[in-house]
Chains A and B, each alone.
Chain A
Amino acid sequence: MGIPYSYSFRNLWTRRLTTVLTASGMGLVVFVFAATLMLTEGLEQTLVQTGSPDNVVLLRKAANSEVQSGVERAQASLLESQPEIAVGPDGYPLLAKEVVVLINLKKRVGDKPSNVIIRGVTETSLRLRPAVRLKEGRMPRAGSAEVIAGKSIARRFKGGGMGETLRFGMRDWRVVGVFDAGATGFSSEIWGDADQLMQAFRRQAYSSIIFRLRDPAAFEAYKTRVEGDPRLTIEAKRETQYYLDQSEAMAKFLRILGMVLTVVFSIGAVIGATITMYAAVANRVTEIGTLRALGFQRTSILSAFIMEALLLGLCGGLLGVGAASFMQLITISTMNWASFSELAFSFTLNFAIVWKSLLFSAVMGLIGGALPAVRASRMNIVEALRAT
């Protein structure tokens, strides 16, 4: 058995002020690290949850998003009659031909303009997205200049609230309902009647076709057949994969940004931990000599100081994760680079992020404590005892 853990823990407790200051420095780095992961996770979850694994999105080949895509009416009719499409209780196929347009709206705060997605939908669109629920008001009437707004749009954009009027496509559109799509990208959209919106924006083609598979396992076969059909210039993706692809560029950017910030900050934190641990060793030279004289091996001394550095790092980790957990209360909005539209999402903390953050903090502690621990373990017993 080696030196008890209580020795390492109580030494940290004895030097409370130094411990708190060093752990706070490390905590700040862990906060940045965790917040970046939470941001990426929030973005991915928002976009991925937007999709359903049973749904298929059909886009024009090589189009990265619905905004860039166009599906001709003739092709849409052909696609509508495929046998893989599930049928609803009313006997109609569970398929929606949608149009997606970007418009510019001013925010309520700051008057700053931002891109917003207008989605032309059909009655089936709601059935294909069970997460979308009308929170207030009613659905737009077919053939009328009415829209419903996602809760994020209603809250943050001028004219987006219940009963307000938006002007786009050379017409005024009354907001007759507000819908809640949970933590999905639909909460940052405005929905209206697809035919009315196509007329308003003079669109001849749909942006995308969404349908539910009768048998989810049949997707690969369907994809191969449809993409190989010479009459169609269509690419089929599962809806979850489509939104995951959308989040990829932004998530990658956030990860790289977070990594750079974390690495730069962590150098400072590791130096702080090293200085603290060197001071701890310098203050306990006689103790080290005594422990060695009693028969503890160099490795036991090394382990005790490494343990102390790990605990210091974990204290920082807990502080950082604790502070980062409050970020879940914040909802931020940013540009979705795939659709060039505004997307609102929250910082999301999960077990994997907590685990990674604590591991990261422990690694910082380990790196910071390694050299001081080696120094402690290499002390000459007689010289250490003379330091009394």
Chain B
Amino acid sequence: MQEAGEPIVRIRDLSKGYRRGTQVIPVLSGVNFDIARGEFLALMGPSGSGKSTLLNLIAGIDTADQGSIRIGDVEITQLGESELARWRAGNVGFIFQFYNLIPVLTAYENVELPLLLTHLKRRERREHVEAVLSVVGLGDRMEHYPSQLSGGQQQRVAIARAIVTDPEILVADEPTGDLDRASAEEILQLMDRLVHEFKKTVIMVTHDPRAAEKAHIVRHLEKGELSVS
């Protein structure tokens, strides 16, 4: 087990470009940095600077053209598609700007989804789901569908879904981007609690300076290159 403060994410010479016809448009070029265990990192930068691409690469939903990403002991750039999917299921929690809940499933069923990829029995899954919904303060909204919840409540369900498998890393792409100020503040406090109380490593892409203020470290991306503030 690695100690808190040790790097959980190690990125070396990471490059990524997108093809447009015959042209390759570089998005990230030669990015190097570490993220310490238990850190709350905010990635900021103008649109098109490559911050979401970097987040997607760290989360294992996109593949790099060059370089390496090591998460804990796993070199994820070496994993095949199926292995990567299995790795994501156990190691990464996702928080999206528009919550990305499945509208036909209840809050309970949405949170239970990642647990369906584990070997837990129904009773154990229920215990886990009830526990995390209590953590996010929605223990009494389990049978509600997303459409019956406010934006802030939906994002809290999404956070519960992200932490239900107890992953070490949470990746959040503009988690407050679709929320009013009060709900955004609640979500940020919850994420802060996840870092301090539950020792999660949070990597957040944001345009919101108030959200960035909650982070331990803010890194800026500009034209695919990284700087620290």
Contacts and interface: CB of A to CB of B under 8 A. Distances in A.
A10 B105 contact: yes
B27 to A, nearest CB: 11
Interface in A9-33: 10-11, 13-14
B102 A287 contact: yes
Nearest to B119: A1
Contact of B113 (A13, A294, A298): A294
Given A6-B105, A381-B62, A388 B96 contact: yes
B104 A10 contact: yes
A381 B102 CA distance: 16
Nearest to B63: A382
B102 A295 contact: no
Given A1-B116, A1-B117, A11-B104, A293 B61 contact: yes
A286 B62 contact: no
B190 interface: no
Interface in A174-195: none
B117 A295 contact: yes
Contacts of B109: 4, 6
A10 B85 CA distance: 25
Interface residues of A, number: 26
B103 A290 contact: no
Contacts of B117: 1, 294-296
A293 B88 contact: yes
A13 B81 CA distance: 33
Nearest to B162: A294
A297 B82 CA distance: 7
A293 B85 CA distance: 7
A168 interface: no
Contacts of B88: 293-295
Interface string B54-82: 00100101100000000000000000011
A367 interface: no
A294 B112 CA distance: 11
A253 interface: no
A164 B125 CA distance: 79
Interface string A355-388: 0000000000000000000000000011001001
A296 B85 contact: yes
A142 B217 CA distance: 114
Interface in A259-294: 286-287, 289-294
Given A4-B109, A286-B98, A293-B59, 15 more contacts: A4-B105, A4-B116, A6-B104, A13-B104, A14-B103, A290-B96, A292-B61, A293-B94, A294-B88, A297-B82, A298-B81, A381-B62, A382-B61, A385-B100, A388-B98
29 contacts: A1-B116, A3-B116, A4-B109, A6-B104, A6-B105, A10-B104, A14-B103, A286-B98, A286-B100, A287-B102, A289-B100, A290-B94, A290-B96, A290-B100, A291-B113, A293-B61, A293-B88, A294-B113, A294-B114, A295-B85, A295-B86, A295-B88, A295-B89, A295-B90, A295-B114, A298-B81, A382-B56, A385-B100, A388-B96
Interface of B: 56, 59, 61-62, 81-82, 85-86, 88-90, 94, 96-98, 100, 102-105, 109, 113-114, 116-117, 161
Interface of A: 1-4, 6-7, 10-11, 13-14, 286-287, 289-298, 381-382, 385, 388
